[in-house]
Structure 1
Amino acid sequence: MKVKWFGHASFLITSDKGTKIITDPYTPGVYGLEYKQIGESADIVTVSHDHADHNNVSAIPGKPQILKGAGKHQAKGIEFRGIASCHDDCGGKERGDDMIFVFTIEDIKTCHLGELGRLLTDKEVTEIGKVDVLMIPVGGIFTIDAAAADKVIAQLKPRIVLPMHYQTDGCPNFPVANADPFLKGKKNVKKIDGSSTELKMGQLPKDTQIYVLKHEL
Structure 2
Amino acid sequence: MAVRVTWYGHAAFLLESDGKRILIDPFLSGNPLAPVKAEEVQADVIIITHGHADHVGDAVDIARRTGALVISNYEITSWFQSKGVQNVWALHIGGGRDFDFGRVKLTPALHGSVLPDGAYGGNPAGVLLYLGKHRIYHAGDTGLFGDMKLIGAEKLDLALLPIGDNFTMGPADALQAVRLLKPKVVIPMHYNTWELIQQDPHAWARKAKAAVKGLKVVVLEPGGTFELK
Q: Aligned partner of 2:170: which letter?
A: D
CA distance, structure 2, for counterparts of residue 182 and residue 74 of structure 1? 38
Q: TM-score, normalised by structure 2?
A: 0.72
User: What are the superposed Cα offsets for residues 156-183 of structure 1, whole Å, 9 maximum, x if unpaired?
Assistant: 100000100000xxx4x34212234852
1:85 deviation in Å?
A: 2.3
Select 1:131's aligned residue among 132, 137, 156: 156
CA distance, structure 2, for counterparts of residue 184 and residue 73 of structure 1? 33
Select 1:175's aligned residue among 188, 191, 196: 196
- The residue aligned with 2:128 is 102
Contact 1:138 1:179 in 2 (8 A): no
User: 2:45 matched to 1:20?
Assistant: no
- The residue aligned with 1:7 is 9
User: What are the superposed Cα offsets for residues 62-100 of structure 1, whole Å, 9 maximum, x if unpaired?
Assistant: 211111122113332411001132117xxxxxx984211
- The residue aligned with 1:113 is 139
Q: Aligned partner of 2:200: which letter?
A: A
CA distance, structure 1, for counterparts of residue 67 and residue 141 of structure 2? 25
Aligned pair in 2 of structure 1 residues 187, 77: CA closer, same or farther (>3 Å)? closer
1:55 deviation in Å?
A: 0.7
Select 1:212's aligned residue among 212, 219, 227: 219
CA distance, structure 2, for counterparts of residue 113 and residue 11 of structure 1? 12
1:105 deviation in Å?
A: 1.5
Identity percentage of aligned residues: 26
Segments of 4+ in structure 1 off by > 4 A? none
- The residue aligned with 2:69 is 65
SS of the counterpart of 2:183?
coil
CA distance, structure 2, for counterparts of residue 78 and residue 49 of structure 1? 21
User: 2:171 matched to 1:146?
Assistant: yes
CA distance, structure 2, for counterparts of residue 208 and residue 184 of structure 1? 10
Q: Aligned partner of 2:66: which letter?
A: G
Q: TM-score, normalised by structure 1?
A: 0.76
- The residue aligned with 1:163 is 188
Q: Aligned partner of 1:5: which letter?
A: W
SS of the counterpart of 1:53?
helix
Contact 1:8 1:166 in 2 (8 A): yes
SS of the counterpart of 1:186?
helix
Contact 1:65 1:75 in 2 (8 A): no
1:27 deviation in Å?
A: 4.8
Aligned pair in 2 of structure 1 residues 85, 186: CA closer, same or farther (>3 Å)? closer
Q: Aligned partner of 2:129: which letter?
A: F
**Structure richer in helix, relative to its length:** 2
1:127 deviation in Å?
A: 4.6
The gaps in structure 1 that reach 5 residues or longer are 89-94, 190-205
Select 2:111's aligned residue among 62, 77, 87: 87
Give the number of aligned pairs.
Answer: 185
SS of the counterpart of 2:60?
helix
